[in-house]
Amino acid sequence: MPHRHDKGSKPAQRLAHALAGLTVAAVVLTGCAVGAAPETAASSTSTSTAQQSASGEFFNTDEVHSISVSYDEGDYQAMLDAYASSGEKEWISATVTIDGTVFENVGLRLKGNSSLRGVVETDSGDGTAGETEPEGLPWLIRLDKYVDGQVYDGRSDFVVRGSSTETSLNEAVALSVLAASDVAAEQYAYVRFSVNGGAEQLRLVLDLPDDSGWNSDTFENPGITYKADSGGDYSYRGEGADDYADVFDLKSNSSSLSDDDGFTPLADFLEFLATASDDEFANQLSSYLDVDEFARYLAAQELVANTDDIDGPGNNSYLRWDETTGTFTVIAWDQNLSYGVSPGGGGAGGRTAQGGGGARGGGGGAGGGGGGGSRSNVLVERFLADEGFSALYAEALQQLRSDVYDSGVAQTRLNTLVELLKTQASDLVSAETIQSEADAISAQLD
């Protein structure tokens, strides 16, 4: 079935590289609560309980889970006022109950950029609600912000995602596609989410690459995880940590380097991207980057039509440096614009690209938002401009399309999620809406 690209879109450009690459070469790609008990309050004093690996008690799709949050309304209003006046996302203390397990003195703050544009306005859809509808806001829940060692299912961080759809099926399916593509990304769960005893709302909850538990479960070797800030880029700024204070954050460090020295591998990588000749780039990139994984990352983002990835307007990515191999891996983050969803609303599937990819709007500048534009990323540009790496990407795209779409893996996953929501959440979102949003995604899985 033919699919259309918007002229000049990034997926269209990547597809052109893929087709060109295939003509050049064939490249073979080769529940446990800690610090709390069911229906009892977690201790508000410091604990030294060891982190546990995620058991699947929470991050699964066997059921729609439950999270309820309670906090002081004065603290909440002060937090909103601070964000409205300065853009600062301040923490407040809350009581959080996850599937019946109660945690006291939990850190809670707003999470997101474009999804917070309506934070002091009236509700404009899931994840962009105003101050009177906190159950629709995007949140970061940090169980161990004030209580050391407090975790649930091996995680301390839980992200209540913003979405301009009612089901968030586009992000859930995209994350499943990334997992099937062997791309480092987050786990998810559906929840009934409520605040201060108010109405429940269907929300998608993710774990977070900031979390030490996520890192230890995801990566075999010690290393460092960095987050690219929304207003930054991948340009080389110097050798010191201070040079990257506004563009990268060090989120997790299990390496032998101190946090101050932890920016040295990143600076070396960015200097290589900025200064290497084309021949040096082709011959030496694999010493800095796992090129096979990066080809899969780009191919998977193409498949799910994500307009807000590493070279999208939100600069959305994490980087993981593996101390054992000395190479970087790109971690996928922020898939809620996948499958044609726009940040301002509208269901999945408005714009499509060949093989399930979605067209990106050309132009657009840097910023903290997501969607509706694009910007360059030196790593992506140089990778796809190289004949050999372009061929590697082309092969990855062809292989993943066969393995994940043509095989029916993605469609089966979508069907499972639809059944879950219709069975357990149709009182929150109508069965008709669930099916309609699913159909828009299904049309892009051919």
Q: Residue 120's pLDDT band (boundaries 50, 70, 90)?
A: low
pLDDT of 13 > 70? The answer is no
Q: Residue 39's pLDDT band (boundaries 50, 70, 90)?
A: very low
pLDDT in the model for residue 320 = 98
pLDDT of 347 > 70? The answer is no
Mean pLDDT of 215-232: 94
Q: Distance between the two ends of the chain, CA-based, in angstroms?
A: 7
pLDDT of 353 > 90? The answer is no
- Spell out the SS3 assignment of the chain: CCCCCCCCCHHHHHHHHHHHHHHHCCCCCCCCEECCCECCCCCCCCCCCCCCCCCCCCCCCCCCEEEEEECCHHHHHHHHHHHHHHCCCCCEEEEEEECCEEEEEEEEEECCCHHHCCCCCCCCCCCCCCCCCHHHCCEEEECCCCCCCCEECCECEEEECCCCCCCCHHHHHHHHHHHHCCCCCCCEEEEEEEECCCCCEEEEEECCCCCHHHHHHHCCCCEEEEEECCCCCCCCCCCCHHHHCCCEEEEEECCCCCCCHHHHHHHHHHHHHHHCCHHHHHHHHHHCECHHHHHHHHHHHHHCCCCCCCCCCCCCCEEEEECCCCCEEEECCCCCCHHHCECCECCCCCCCCHHHCCCCCCCCCCCCCCCCCCCCCHHHHHHHHCHHHHHHHHHHHHHHHHHHHHCCHHHHHHHHHHHHHHHHCCCCCCHHHHHHHHHHHHCCCC
Mean pLDDT of 101-106: 98
Range in 7-21, 205-219, 263-277 with the lowest mean pLDDT: 7-21
Q: Residue 303's pLDDT band (boundaries 50, 70, 90)?
A: very high
C-alpha dihedral, 252 to 219 to 203 to 354, nearest 10°: 120
pLDDT of 413 > 60? The answer is yes
pLDDT of 128 > 50? The answer is no
pLDDT of 214 > 70? The answer is yes
Mean pLDDT (the chain) is: 83
Per-residue CA distances from 375 to 248, 303, 354, 361, 366 (Å):
17, 19, 21, 10, 6
Strand-by-strand arrangement of the 223-228 sheet: 248-253, 223-228, 318-322, 328-331
Range in 113-127, 192-206, 314-328, 417-431 with the lowest mean pLDDT: 113-127
Range in 238-247, 269-278, 335-344, 430-439 with the lowest mean pLDDT: 335-344
